[in-house]
Amino acid sequence: MSSVKKIGVLTGGGDAPGLNAVIRAVVKTACNAGVTVLGLENSFDGLIYSDMARPLGPKDVTGILRLGGTILGTVNRGNPFAVPIETSEGTFNYADRVMEMFHKIELDALVCIGGDGTLGISYEFYKRGIPLVCVPKTIDNDIVGTTSCFGFDTAVSFATDAIDRLHTTAEAHRRVMVVEVMGRNAGWIALHGGVAGGADVILIPEIPYEPEKVAESILKRDELGARFSIVVVAEGATVKNQGRIIVEAAHGGHAERLGGAGKACADALEHLTGKETRHVVLGHLQRGGAPTAFDRALATRFGGKAVELILRGQFGKMVANNPPDIVPIPIGEVVGKTKTVPLDYDLLQTARALGVSFGD
């Protein structure tokens, strides 16, 4: 019999389709096991400001399975430990305040749903004594230890649909269409979306590219009679021996904001091929909207497993997809690491064998 009577649930970092499905699964599973749930708003802010925690019961989560975003709100604040927190009750050290409030509102454990930043913050609080379980979240699919995260399938489906649409207009005008997708450090969305959409060129952060090689592959397609090309570029893709293209430098613990890789690629290709070239940026459209069936099921499994681990007293763990199972892995094995696309990944090799250019 578990001694856990009351848990908090929070969502941190950038959103991803499926967050609400996790919240729903956590609330329903916990309540059915006789555990009270407090929804903490805007990530750990719910443990800082006394008016940002609210009870959640099954009725509060009815109908949210299919909704994008998060009913709890989220923040992405870089390193929150770095700055003091101003509240109506005074100024506090961030970590001290969270610890104090966790006990004050009589929580027994936390479910922290988030990406690498939230995993890192949660791990700090776990080491300071908060019993917690993490649920990994990223559309980029770059969290180690789990084969996939909810949100990734939705993002890939959206990118694939966009590429399908670009195909028809590219072919009609015999143009090169460049589509920039998300993927800071890893090219999972570009690779999976690119292959599913039948892209001719896929540029990912793991393989710095040479614009001349990409141009060559486009002109070769022209020779074969295919007078249009689709190029998928991850936002973190780089030209060989050059840095990433950013719109805002890193500051105050915030990572640099990426953007412009698609435009830079399109400009270079127009110049090198002489072909009319257009670019589109899918951006946050990939993070919005309803999660796919796969992501709803994965998110639900993650949420259910997180509560199961809490009831069994297995803290300091992240739930992970290890088909066919959802398994617990120590958070310490995950934080600070990035799961990039292995160069011998079969989908990458298959794409190459099909004639897709990676610009290398």
Q: Which residues are known catalytic residues?
A: 140
Burial of 32 (0-12, 13-18, 19+ CB in 10 A): exposed
Selected binder of ligand F6P within 61, 85, 107, 139 (CB under 6 A): 139
Q: Could you say whether residue 137 binds ligand F6P (CB under 6 A)?
A: no
CB of 160 to ligand F6P, least distance (A): 17
Residue numbers 221-240 binding ligand F6P by CB under 6 A: 235
Given the complex with ligand F6P, which of 55 and 336 has the nearer CB atom? 336
Burial of 73 (0-12, 13-18, 19+ CB in 10 A): middle
Q: Looking at the chain, list the stretches that DSSP marks H as alpha helix, in order from N- to C-terminal side.
A: 19-32, 94-104, 116-127, 152-173, 188-196, 211-223, 261-273, 293-311, 346-354
| Per-residue binder mask for ligand F6P (CB under 6 A), 163-182, x = binder | -------------------x
The residue number whose beta carbon is nearest to ligand F6P equals 182
Q: Which amino acid is at 215?
A: A
Partnered with residue 330 across adjacent β-strands are 317
Q: Could you say whether residue 258 binds ligand F6P (CB under 6 A)?
A: yes
279 contacts 231 by C-beta, under 8 angstroms? no
Selected binder of ligand F6P within 28, 77, 175, 184 (CB under 6 A): 184
Q: Could you say whether residue 14 binds ligand F6P (CB under 6 A)?
A: yes
CB of 139 to ligand F6P, least distance (A): 5
Quick one: tokens of 221? 């397609």
Given the complex with ligand F6P, which of 19 and 56 has the nearer CB atom? 19
104 contacts 96 by C-beta, under 8 angstroms? no
Cis peptide before 58 (omega within 30 of 0): no
Q: Looking at 183-256, list the stretches that DSSP marks H as alpha helix, in order from N- to C-terminal side.
A: 188-196, 211-223
Selected binder of ligand F6P within 21, 46, 119, 140 (CB under 6 A): 140
Selected binder of ligand F6P within 17, 18, 183, 187 (CB under 6 A): 183
Q: Could you say whether residue 138 binds ligand F6P (CB under 6 A)?
A: yes
Residues binding ligand F6P (CB under 6 A): 14, 76, 115, 138-140, 182-184, 235, 258, 287
